[in-house]
């Protein structure tokens, strides 16, 4: 996410918020993201004195602070004490902390079709169509591939139409569209879109 989205925020308001409140709010946001996605990223701009966490598409929590490094260190220390693994990363000209929980959410995939497969493979795939399956319980005919373009699911080498979800104590999260949403809610929207197409 680009920092330019935040530069027009009134910094004076953030300076009135106590450091302890900033630290606690950032830790809570990171815990929510870890519950949904299995990891979180905290970005720190030393140049702009800004620290933030993107919770999901269109929703971030961040603060301006003259002592941004001190706040980042307090957040990291609190997370480590809670059992999270924190590692260093870099994103463009920002410092990034990558946070992983000891125990993450369960991951699922909702199967909605297969692309450009021959008819015999389509017929085989029909038994999975419309099913929600735990990722770790996918049959061996499926393969997950990750690239710079995203995460793909293949069935016998053919690309699947799919939506990834996670489930934790916070409920369901649509990983493909980066928003809180259950598979049932997604299917309802999906069927509506098909009717209106």
Q: What is the pLDDT of residue 1?
A: 39
CA 172 to chain centre: 12
Which tokens in the block code for residue 3? Answer: 């920092």
Report yes or no: 99 and 30 within 8 Å, Cβ to Cβ: yes
Residue 127's pLDDT is 95
Phi and psi based region of residue 136 (left: phi greater than 0; alpha: psi -120 to 50; beta: remaining): alpha
Mean pLDDT, range 63-79, rounded to an integer: 94
Q: Which domains does the chain have, with CATH numbers?
A: 3-100 (3.30.1410), 106-196 (no CATH)
What tens digit of pLDDT does each residue of 137-192 get?
999 999 999 887 788 999 999 999 999 999 998 999 999 999 999 999 999 998 99
Residue 7 has pLDDT above 70, yes or no: no
Banded pLDDT at 15 (limits 50, 70, 90):
confident
Whether pLDDT at 136 is above 60: yes
Which position has the higher pLDDT, 116 or 11? 116
Q: Which residue has the higher pLDDT, 93 or 142?
A: 142
Residue 140's SS3 state is coil
**57/15: higher pLDDT:** 57
pTM above the 0.85 mark? no
């Amino acid at each position: 996410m680009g920092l330019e989205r935040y530069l027009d925020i009134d910094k004076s308001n953030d300076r009135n918020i106590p450091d302890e409140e900033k630290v606690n709010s950032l830790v809570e946001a990171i815990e929510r993201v870890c519950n949904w996605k299995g990891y979180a990223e905290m970005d720190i701009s030393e140049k702009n004195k800004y620290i933030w966490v993107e919770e999901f598409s269109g929703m971030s929590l961040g603060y301006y602070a003259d002592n941004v490094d001190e706040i980042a260190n307090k957040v990291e220390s609190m997370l480590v004490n809670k059992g999270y693994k924190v590692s260093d990363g870099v994103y463009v000209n920002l410092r990034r902390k990558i946070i992983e929980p000891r125990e993450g959410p369960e991951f699922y995939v909702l199967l909605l079709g297969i692309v450009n497969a021959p008819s015999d493979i389509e017929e085989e795939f029909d038994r999975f169509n419309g099913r929600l399956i735990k990722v770790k319980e996918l049959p061996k005919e499926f393969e997950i591939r990750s690239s710079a373009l995203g995460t793909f699911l293949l069935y016998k080498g053919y690309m699947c139409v799919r939506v990834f979800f996670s489930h934790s104590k916070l409920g369901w999260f649509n990983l493909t569209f980066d928003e809180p949403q259950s598979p049932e809610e997604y299917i309802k929207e999906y069927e509506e879109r098909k009717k209106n197409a």
